[in-house]
Chain A
Amino acid sequence: MNLHEYQAKEILRRHGVPIPDGDIATTPDAAEALAVKYGVPVMVKAQVHVGGRGKAGGVKYCATPEAAREKATAILGMDIKGLTVLKVLVTVAEDIGSEAYVGIIVDRATKKPVFMVSAAGGIDIEEVAATTPELIKYHPVDPRYGLRTFEAMDMGFFLYADVKQARAAAKIMQQLYAAFIESGCSLAEINPLVVTPTGKVVAVDGKMVIDDNELERLPAIEALRDDSSEDPSEVEARKANLTFIKLDGNVGCVVNGAGLAMATMDLVKYYGGDPANFLDIGGSSNPEKVVNALRIITADKNVKAILFNIFGGITRTDDVANGIVTATKANPLTVPIVIRLTGTNEELAMKILTENGFSASSDMDEAVQKAVALATGAAT
Chain B
Amino acid sequence: MSIFIDNDTTLLIQGITGRDGSFHAKQMMEYGTRVVGGVTPGKGGQQFEGTVPIFNTVAQAVAATGANTSVIYVPPPFAADAMMEAAAAGIKLIVCITEGVPVLDMTRVYPYVKEMGARLLGPNCPGLITPGASKVGIIPGRICTPGPVGVVSRSGTLTYEIVNLLTKAGIGQSTCVGIGGDPINGTNFIDALAAFEADPQTKVVAMMGEIGGTDEQEAAEFVRTKMKKPVVGFIAGQTAPPGRRMGHAGAIISGSAGTAAEKIEAFEKAGMGIARRPMDFVELVQARL
Contacts and interface: CB of A to CB of B under 8 A. Distances in A.
A260 B260 CA distance: 15
B159 interface: yes
Interface stretch (A39-47, A251-259, A322-330): A251-259
Contact of B157 (A108, A257, A267): A257
Given A259-B208, A266-B239, A213 B249 contact: yes
B278 A263 contact: yes
B244 interface: yes
Contact of A343 (B126, B140, B214): B140
Interface in B228-249: 234, 236-241, 244-249
Contacts, number: 156
B211 A262 contact: yes
B110 interface: yes
Please classify the interface of chain B as helix (H, G, I), strand (E, B), loop, or mixed, using the class held by over half of its residues.
loop
B158 interface: yes
Nearest to B235: A266
B129 to A, nearest CB: 12
A48 interface: no
Nearest to B255: A126
B155 A313 contact: no
How many residues of B sit at the interface, in one of the four size bands?
Answer: 35 or more
A269 B239 contact: yes
Interface string B105-143: 011101100000000000000100000000000111001
A181 interface: yes
Contact of A261 (B159, B160, B246): B246
B239 to A, nearest CB: 5
Interface stretch (A19-27, A109-117, A167-175): A109-117
A111 B155 contact: no
Given A258-B246, A262-B246, A247 B241 contact: yes
A313 B140 contact: yes
Contacts of A258: 155, 181, 210, 246-248, 251
Nearest to A130: B256
A145 to B, nearest CB: 11
Contacts of A108: 183-184, 213-215, 250
A311 B184 contact: no
B164 interface: yes
Contacts of B279: 364-365
B103 interface: yes
A214 interface: yes
Please classify the interface of chain A as helix (H, G, I), strand (E, B), loop, or mixed, using the class held by over half of its residues.
mixed
A258 B106 CA distance: 21
A262 B251 contact: yes
Contact of B156 (A109, A113, A259, A267): A259
Contacts of A313: 126, 138-140, 156-157, 160
A211 B102 contact: yes
A365 B102 contact: no
Contacts of B77: 216-217
Given A214-B104, A257-B156, A278 B247 contact: yes
Given A108-B250, A259-B153, 18 more contacts: A108-B184, A108-B213, A111-B111, A113-B107, A144-B108, A181-B104, A213-B100, A214-B104, A259-B210, A263-B278, A265-B240, A266-B236, A266-B260, A270-B276, A278-B240, A311-B160, A343-B160, A344-B140
Sorted from nearest, which 9 A-B pairs have the closest CB atoms? Answer: A259-B155, A258-B247, A257-B157, A259-B158, A262-B236, A260-B157, A262-B237, A260-B158, A280-B247
15 contacts: A106-B103, A108-B214, A108-B215, A142-B111, A144-B108, A184-B102, A213-B103, A258-B251, A262-B158, A263-B234, A265-B239, A270-B277, A278-B246, A313-B157, A313-B160
